[in-house]
Amino acid sequence: MAQVQAPVASPHPSGRKPQERLDRVAIRFAGDSGDGVQLTGTKFTESTALAGNDLSTLPDFPAEIRAPAGTLAGVSGYQIHFSSEDIRTPADQADVLVAFNPAALRASLGEVRRSGMVIINADAFTDRTRERAGYTADPLPDVRERYRLVEIPMTRLTFEALKDLSLSQSEAGRSKNFFALGLMYWLYGRPIEATVAWIEARFEGEIREANRRVLMAGYHFGETSELFPVSFEVPSAKIEPGVYRNITGNTALALGCVAASVTMQRPLVVGAYPITPATDVLQELAKHRNFGIKTFQAEDEIAAAAVAVGASFAGMLGLTVTSGPGLLLKQETINLAVVAELPLVIVDVQRAGPSTGLPTKEEQADLLCALYGRSSDSPLPILAPATPGECFSVMLEAFRLAVTYMTPVIVLSDSYLANSAEPWRIPDVEALPRHPVKFRTEANGFMPYLRDADTLARPWAIPGTPGLEHRIGGLEKQDGRGNVSYLPENHQRMTDLRREKVARIAREIAPLTPYGVDSGKLLVVGWGGTYGAITTAVDEARARGHDVASVHLRHLNPFAPNLGDVLRRFERVLVAELNSGQLVRLLRAEFLVPAESLSKVQGQPFKVSDVRAAIVRLLGGE
Amino acid sequence: MSAPIAKLTKRDFESDQEIRWCPGCGDYSVLANVQRLMPELGIPRENFVFVSGIGCSSRFPYYMNTYGFHTIHGRAPAFATGIKLSRPELSVWVITGDGDGLSIGGNHMLHVLRRNVDLQILLFNNRIYGLTKGQYSPTSRMGMRNKSIPMGVIDSPLDPLAFALGAGATFVARTVDVDAASLQDVLRRAHDHKGAAFVEILQNCPVYNDGEWAEIENKKTRVEAGLPLEHGGPLVWGAKGKRRGIRIEHGVPQVIALRDDEDPIAAGITVHDEKHESPGYATVLATLAPPEFPIPVGVLRAVERPSYEALLDKQIHDATQARGAGDLRKLLHGSDTWTVEG
């Protein structure tokens, strides 16, 4: 971080105004997609992490890069929930809304708790902008009645702070998000230094000076304005000791891939085609050429997968990253990797809806596609991280399984994990498990499909190795020798072997331990990014005396070996997932348990209250 | 262990698999010529990789005693790209056909050529789908009657060489399945070229499209049907008494009759220049076709441009020089961290 000599304010004002202590706060920033809302949210998040709070964030942005200004379609939101206690979700409702225009107010007011604080840029509320947002009457009187409305002329105050600079009106206007950011720093006692340092490093000339000044102006406005009689303090949380950083799921996926390459001592080759919400992973990996990482932006999703499989054939760690529509296009290539028995990792950052659907929105509905979306019998392991931080370790596991079992592995992340951020305890690099790749080099007795007795994996024999010249491909292979075979009994045997090979992975999956209680009335089962909402709902329901537990599945194929036992220890099983009931179908089929479904497909994550209400409904009472 | 390079022979490149092409298929001759060429390239056998898609020609890798990957329909250029960018030291050959390479795989062909990945791409053009038993391909002639359009093809055919040139290919050549001398020459040139080398091989399908290239395959008629290309030599062909040349002016080709003793250059016949900067000249050659023109055979274009994998490796090298080898600890820590004390 750059050293700054900026005239920064003290993070804790010297008591000119009283401070009130809070356990947790959820703030939602909302504005036009050009207003810098995501940036404002990200900077607030960084400072909050530096303040030592536990936190969870949720960006919520439109698919359009620049929808018409001032319309509902163009509203971009960013919610951050931070606390002095352990929290796992971005909160069902915001305590504070910062709305940069009427459209942002209209789109977000429903997300604010009753009598919460609503801060608006009063300069952005004119007859014309209200009309653009679809208001037929002035909404503010009603807002005043139901919320604590704070009207601030942010645009004018921004211009005022910049009047002696030679910036154009539109350049100056662009700084106003820093006014809101500075104000919120004061209001919640956040350290401002990191953002000042970032502005110094990121911008140049008058723009740098403008952003810095406006940030400070917002901060001092809080201190001096009569509008805020108190500021708030959210003490730091009790967190496991260690070195932390903020991380989003997509960044963690990318870093996990780099770590896999380093610990397995093989270069990573990434084939990818830009697709929301997975593109960040390609972009992050593209920065790290000095790790020997070869990222390749392919002509399409198919070529992206094919390049990764080609790389794997040549002895590299092959990775392809995509979202649902791309997964479909890759399935034939993945099927080849299943038959050719080559390692490959496919990351699907799931998004909402069939076809193009809702590209920036949340859903976890590609499970059955990942499991069954290829022609014929084509088993492969499937993993799903539960938190942004877990995206890191899941990639280490995915590559290890791919190489150990010579199989493609699908990792199902989702758009909520991809974009939400949480504090992440940085692992000790020295303590990361090392699994250096071993290739077959011995020519004596070599056969391309001769299997390891334990894992059933075939040898990884790469071009350039004398004496191991062999041919593989999509035609059914003779077990052992690997020649093309049309024999009926051989196809049966190879089909059985491919299934058994994947099934054996279950032996190394740690047994599941239910969260809350080991047996009882109700077990909530989840997978992927719903972890925070489910466990928080279970905590809340248990606090009210409900006999409920949860279990969260990271391994979706094969399942943890004791999953059937765990399910049967509870009278009822509720499977909560953001699809129309995919995992529930698998559990019913696999274990013959009468599992029930809690399903939501609205392009949004579960709220804690969604899950809590379902628990209460099933258990009665309240 | 592999035999020392010097001692490798054609037999070292023959696999133990029984060849399953139809009797009389042009693929046999290409296979034999590739196997004959391999030992002469001075490359250890284990460093050859043959990659194919789907179709008759795509069975090719099974018959080569090298590393081989029979992939999926149309995508061989993408798999081969993955192999080559991973391991630039390997000699990677793509075997494809007119359906595999130009229909389902047209997009990948376009991009592998413009990227100039250092591969040898052999496109067997028999103007028919053989493995699925006789449907028309993107190179089938207008009006050709076949199983999937009994009243005759109504879509205009694609010219493989013009396609390759349009995609920015740095090496574009044509040869003929049974013309061993031309095959040996063109394939060696393709191998020596640094970058994507696109070779169209005119190939006979004796079952579903027999005689498509009869005139250029038959040694007796070849002299009239084919225009042999030689860098720096005039565009002339024909037997004694029927000698002709081609003059290209303002992009328009024209046939000029020549006396047997006439100096073609003095007569204004165009001199072949495979290093022409603009692909326009080679594109004119690519579109020469019977009945008005002979079929050019040989190297149409061979220009130098850095290959994709070399540029990629340079980025890796430059990044490592500038920033040092990757430090995982530093990367995981990022720019903003905080410490929670125990």
pLDDT at residue B341 in the model: 79
Confidence category of residue A12, pLDDT binned at 50, 70, 90: very low
Q: Which residue is closest to A285 within chain B, CA to CA?
A: B331
Within 13 A of A442's CA, how many CA atoms are on the CB side? 6
CA closest to B105 among chain A residues: A303
Per-residue pLDDT, A60: 82
| Over residues A204-211, mean pLDDT | 94
Alpha-carbon gap, residue A350 to A347, rounded angstroms: 9
DSSP B144: -
Q: How far apart are the first and last CA of chain B?
A: 58
Cβ–Cβ below 8 Å for B86 and A290: no
Mean pLDDT, range A147-165, rounded to an integer: 95
> From B15, which residue of chain A is nearest by alpha-carbon distance?
A470
Is A8 a residue whose pLDDT tops 60? no
Q: For chain B, say whether A194 makes contact (Cβ under 8 Å).
A: yes
The answer on A298 and A213 residing in a single domain is no
* Residue A265 sits at the chain B interface (C-beta within 8 Å): no
A40-76 pLDDT tens trace: 999 999 899 888 899 999 888 777 777 788 899 899 9
Residue A83 phi, psi dihedral angles, 5° rounding: -155, 165
Q: Which residue has the tokens 């991809």?
A: A418
The span from the CA of A199 to the CA of A43, in Å, is 10
Helical axes A301-313 vs B76-86, angle rounded to 10°: 50
Q: What is the 3-state secondary structure (H, E, C) of A427-496?
A: CCHHHCCCCCCCCCCCCCCCCCECCCCCCCCCCCCCCCCCCCCCEEECCCECCECCCECCCHHHHHHHHH
Q: Is B75 close to A315, i.e. CB distance below 8 A?
A: no
Tell me the longest C-alpha to C-alpha distance in chain B: 99
DSSP element (H, E) containing A243 = strand A242-248
Q: Do A259 and B328 touch (CB under 8 A)?
A: yes
Of A394, A409, A426, the residue at which a domain comes to its end is A426
Q: What is the pLDDT of residue A62?
A: 74
Question: Which DSSP category does B113 fall into?
Answer: H
> Nearest-CA residue of chain A relative to B89?
A464
Q: Alpha helices, DSSP H only, in A268-343?
A: 279-286, 301-313, 324-340
Give the up-direction half-sphere exposure of residue A143: CA atoms within 13 A in the CB hemisphere: 24
Whether residues A264 and A202 share a domain: the answer is: no
Q: For chain A, give the longest Cα–Cα distance.
A: 86
Whether B239 contacts B223, CB under 8 Å: yes
Residue ranges of B 82-121 with Cβ closer than 8 A to chain A: 82-83, 85-87, 89-90, 107-108, 110-111
Say whether pLDDT at A276 is over 60: yes
Burial of A70 (0-12, 13-18, 19+ CB in 10 A): buried
Residues A351 and A203: their CA atoms lie apart, in Å, by 34
Query: CB neighbours of B63 closer than 8 A, spacing ≥ 6?
Result: B14, B15, B17, B19, B31
Together in a domain, A223 and A259 = no
Token pair, residue B258, equals 């020549």
Residue of B nearest to A245 (CA): B337
Domain coverage including residue A66: 19-233
For strands A317-322 and A344-350, give the pairing: parallel
pLDDT at A415 over 90: yes
State whether residue B18 sits within 8 Å of chain A by CB: no
- The yes-or-no verdict on residue A26 having pLDDT over 60 is yes
Task: Answer yes or no: do A182 and A296 share one domain.
Answer: no
A223 Cβ neighbours under 8 A, 6+ residues apart: A9, A13, A16, A17, A186
CB A608 within 8 A of CB A537: yes
Point out the residue among B44, B71, B340 whose CB comes nearest to the CB of A52: B340
* Model pLDDT, residue B7: 84
Q: Is the separation of the CB atoms in A341 and A457 below 8 Å?
A: yes
Pick from A111, A119, A108: which is nearest to A144 by CA? A119
As given in the structure block, the two tokens for residue A239 are 């967190």
In 3D space, the residue among B242, B222, B246, B232 whose CA is nearest the CA of residue B297 turns out to be B222
Q: Is the pLDDT of residue A10 over 90?
A: no
Report helix, strand or coil for A262. Answer: helix
Q: How far apart are CA B191 and CA A454, in angstroms?
A: 43
AA identity, residue B28: Y
A433 lies in some domain: no
The structure's pTM equals 0.92
Cross-chain CB nearest to A313 (options B48, B69, B316):
B69
Chain-centre distance for alpha carbon B190: 8
User: Residue A293's closest chain B neighbor by CA?
Assistant: B316
Q: Do B67 and A470 touch (CB under 8 A)?
A: yes
| One-letter identity of residue A223 | E
pLDDT the model gives residue B4 = 52
Q: Is A305 helix (H, G, I), strand (E, B) or coil?
A: helix
Tell me the two tokens of residue A148: 């604590």
**Nearest CA-CA distance, residue B317 and chain A, Å:** 7
Spatial CA neighbour of B339 closest among A487, A165, A49? A49
A 10 A CB-CB count for A588 gives 18
CA atoms of A593 and A437, how far apart (whole Å): 40
Nearest to A52 among B71, B324, B338 (CB): B338
Residues 297-336 of A with CB under 8 A from B: 298-300, 302-303, 306-316, 318, 332-333, 336
Q: Could you tell me if A175 and A87 lie in one domain?
A: yes
Which strands sit side by side in the sheet containing A94-99, from one edge to the other? A54-60, A75-83, A24-32, A94-99, A112-121, A148-152
What would the CATH number be for the domain defined by B5-212?
3.40.50.970
Q: Which residues pair with A403 in a beta bridge?
A: none
- What CA–CA distance (Å, rounded) separates B230 from B300? 9
Neighbour tally for A620: CB within 10 Å: 8
Q: Name the pairing type of β-strands B48-52 and B91-97.
A: parallel
B329: which 2 tokens?
């600890």
Residues 401-440 of A with CB under 8 A from B: 426-427, 429
Q: Are B30 and B204 in contact, with CB atoms under 8 Å apart? A: no
Helix, coil or strand: residue A149? strand
Decide: residue A76, CB within 10 A, 0-12 exposed, 13-18 middle, 19+ buried: buried
| Alpha-carbon distance values, A58 to A168, A415, A613 (Å) | 33, 10, 22
Q: What are phi and psi of B34, to 5 degrees?
A: -65, -45
- Alpha-carbon distance A54 to A363, whole Å? 25
Q: Is A129 exposed, middle or buried (0-12, 13-18, 19+ CB in 10 A)?
A: middle
Any domain includes A354? yes
- Of the candidates A244, A303, A336, which has its C-beta nearest B338's C-beta? A244
Residues A147 and A107 in one domain: yes
Nearest by CB: A336 against B72, B322, B339: B72
In this structure, which amino acid lies at residue A519?
Answer: S
Q: What's the burial of A258, exposed, middle or buried (CB within 10 Å: 0-12/13-18/19+)? A: buried
Strand (E) or helix (H) holding A366? none
pLDDT at A100 over 50: yes
We report the CATH number of the domain holding residue A558 as 3.40.50.920
Q: Which of residues 479-498 of A touch B (CB under 8 A)?
A: 483-484
Q: Are A497 and B76 in contact (CB under 8 A)?
A: no
Which structure tokens are listed for A544?
């009210």
pLDDT (tens digit, 0 to 9) for every residue of chain B, 342 residues total?
455 555 899 999 999 999 999 999 999 999 999 999 999 999 999 999 999 999 999 999 999 999 999 999 999 999 999 999 999 999 999 999 999 999 999 999 999 999 999 999 999 999 999 999 999 999 999 999 999 999 999 999 999 999 999 999 999 999 999 999 999 999 999 999 999 999 999 999 999 999 999 999 999 999 999 999 999 999 999 999 999 999 999 999 999 999 999 999 999 999 999 999 899 999 999 999 999 999 999 999 999 999 999 999 999 999 999 999 999 999 999 877 888 877
Least confident range of A170-184, A294-308, A392-406, B115-129: A170-184
Substitution target in B15, B19, B71 with the highest count of A β-carbons within 10 Å is B71
**Chain centroid offset of residue A135 CA:** 34
| A34 neighbors A65 (Cβ within 8 angstroms) | no
Say how far apart CA A206 and CA A227 lie, in whole Å: 30
pLDDT at residue B201, as a whole number: 98
Q: Token digits for B98?
A: 């007119």
Q: What does pLDDT average to over chain A?
A: 94
The structure tokens listed for B334 are: 């990022």
Q: Does one domain contain both A144 and A183?
A: yes
Number of domains in chain A: 3
Please identify among residues 288-317 of chain B the ones whose CB lies closer than 8 Å to any CB of chain A: 312, 315-316
The last residue of one of the domains, among A394, A426, A458, is A426
Distance from CA of A532 to the nearest CA of B (A): 22
Kindly state whether A235 is in contact with chain B, defined as any CB-CB distance less than 8 angstroms. no
Judged by CB atoms within 8 Å, which residues 28-67 of B form the interface with A?
44-49, 51-52, 54, 61-62, 64-67
Alpha carbon distances (Å) from B201 to A561, B10, B124: 55, 21, 5
Q: Same structural domain for residues A41 and A184?
A: yes
> At B215, is the secondary structure helix, strand, or coil?
helix
How far apart are alpha carbons A442 and A450 in whole angstroms?
13
CATH classification of the domain holding A150:
3.40.920.10
Interface of A with B in 513-532 (CB under 8 A): none
> What is the SS3 assignment for A269?
strand
- For A329, phi and psi rounded to 5 degrees? -65, -30
Contact B337 A466 (CB under 8 A): no
Instruction: Please tell me if residue B339 touches chain A, with a CB cutoff of 8 Å.
Output: yes
Q: Does position A4 have pLDDT exceeding 50, yes or no?
A: no
Q: How far apart are CA B147 and CA B252, in angstroms?
A: 37
Determine the distance in angstroms separating the CA of A430 from the nearest CA of chain B, rounded to an integer: 9
Q: Please name which of B264, B256, B274 lies closest in space to residue B234, comparing C-alpha atoms.
A: B264
Give me the residue from B61, B78, B87 closest to A298, CB to CB: B78
**A272 and A168 assigned to the same domain:** no
| Interchain contact A472–B (C-beta under 8 A) | yes
